[in-house]
Amino acid sequence: GLVDYSEGSISFLKGIKLGYLAQQHDLSGNLTVIEEATKTFDPLFTAEERMHKIEAQMAEIGADIELLGEKYTIAQKEFELLGGYGWKSRLHGVLKGLGLTEVFWDKPVNVLSGGEKTRLQLAKMLLENNDVLLLDEPTNHLDIQAAQWLTDYLLRYNGTVLLISHDLGTIMSISDRI
């Protein structure tokens, strides 16, 4: 949707979530790295809050426990689909895997270098539970360890990946394992 196309069509199944990592991005602001990355989990926090509200309703005298139980089951399934209680471990693992260790977590986003911002943008995209990833030069600004971590991550990824890269090592590593 960033550039109009002159012919043809683009279509997606209903509900497909698309993640796009551009070479240029506009991350800025005073949020810290950990705060910015944690925003990715806002839908999970909303689902958890919905669960707590239903729990409170169930504790009320005269509550329709059967109806609320059904609502709670739906909210709980959504919570689990969004990452459940493992969100913090996943957050920390992705940040560390991309080289954004604890040293960076309290830094404001606006003081990060361009490469560090790219790593953070990539981390956020990987944490979003997208069905399709469009990655334009994702290994730019990654050291060897982070590039290897990303390669391993993408090999375990359950969705579709479209990868544009001039990094022959990453391309060969991925194509050898497919």
Write down the pTM of the prediction: 0.84
pLDDT of residue 1: 62
pLDDT of residue 75: 94
pLDDT of residue 168: 66
pLDDT of residue 110: 93
pLDDT of residue 93: 97
Tens-level pLDDT at each residue, the chain (178 residues): 667 778 888 777 888 999 988 877 778 889 999 999 999 999 999 999 999 999 999 999 888 999 999 999 999 999 998 889 999 999 999 999 999 999 999 999 999 998 899 999 999 999 998 999 999 888 888 888 998 899 899 988 999 988 888 776 666 666 665 5
pLDDT of residue 170: 62
Contact, 150 vs 177, CB < 8 A? no
Write the single-letter amino acid at 155: L
Distant-in-sequence, close-in-space partners of 157: CB < 8 Å, separation ≥ 6 = 133
pLDDT of residue 25: 72
Report the C-alpha gap between 48 and 33 in whole angstroms: 23
